[in-house]
Amino acid sequence: MSILINKDTRLVVQGITGRDGGFHAAKMEEYGTNVVAGTSPGKGGQHALGIPVFNSVADAVNQEGANTSVIFVPAPFVKDAIMEAADSGVSLIICITEGVPTLDVVEAKRYADLKGVSLIGPNCPGLISPGKSLVGIMPGNIFKEGSTGVISRSGTLTYEVVHNLTIGGIGQSTAIGVGGDPVVGLYYLELLKMFENDPETDSIVLIGEIGGDAEEQAAQYIKDHVTKPVAAFIAGVTAPPGKRMGHAGAIISSGTGTAKEKTDAFAKAGVPVASEPAQIPDLLRTRR
């Protein structure tokens, strides 16, 4: 089984006629994702990669039964793209675009919440349920169908950890990159709950990094609510205070958000923390 996406996912690509949207639409379709439509205002009635293009997401929902949207439009247009998708009838929106103004995300996320639509991202690699569906920019060839759920703030670390899981014979149920911006959609707590309730996910890997207190909150949630084995990795152990490390949300401020604080929080919750990604498979095996 998987969470959020599966073989029934019917995807609309917002920005399919752009360079990135077109490139990744082809990759997603090649993987086996059911890409049923694309949108590009003013280009309705055309086709891209043999996929019908519509002027709006609502048209894609009404005419092709799209239930999930992925966004590749430029950052200044992302707020409107998310709100349009939330209005259309899809149940899940994945925003890949980076550099989106934080206040735009605050407004768009609030609107999606009011509409009851789940948002992943922005500034994220998307998600994949191996063997079923890929929505985003993840390299499908490194993933293996299985029963370990993966949640990550970092795209590239996701790939490194998953590669180690796969070569170690541990497949994944769903892997999700939540994004590294200060404000994003679905995050650790919501996704941990989904994996806990998924009968075919038997273990979870959580990949965090310095900055904020999301990992500390996740550790407490795991302690209180998660019965499945969890292993973690925290990036940024050597980061100096006040220095941003790649992601806008990855900054230590006023002595909080350090790797040590996060590692200690996981230790109190009984979650082992790897010192390097290659250790994750062995940590999971000792917990199963």
Reply yes or no: is the peptide bond before residue 122 cis, omega within 30 of 0: yes
Choose among 263, 274, 270, 267: nearest CA to 165: 274
Residues 6+ apart with CB under 8 A from 144: 130, 165, 166, 170, 171, 172
Choose among 149, 144, 152: nearest CA to 168: 144
Q: Catalytic residue positions?
A: 247
Choose among 5, 44, 11: nearest CA to 29: 11
Give me the residues paired with residue 35 across strands.
11
Residues 6+ apart with CB under 8 A from 86: 93, 108, 111, 112, 115, 117, 119
By the 8 A CB rule, do 79 and 103 touch?
A: no
Distance of alpha carbon 63 from alpha carbon 80, whole angstroms: 21
C-alpha torsion 243→249→255→260, nearest 10: -100
> 152 to each of 51, 83, 121, 127, how far by Cα in Å?
31, 25, 11, 10
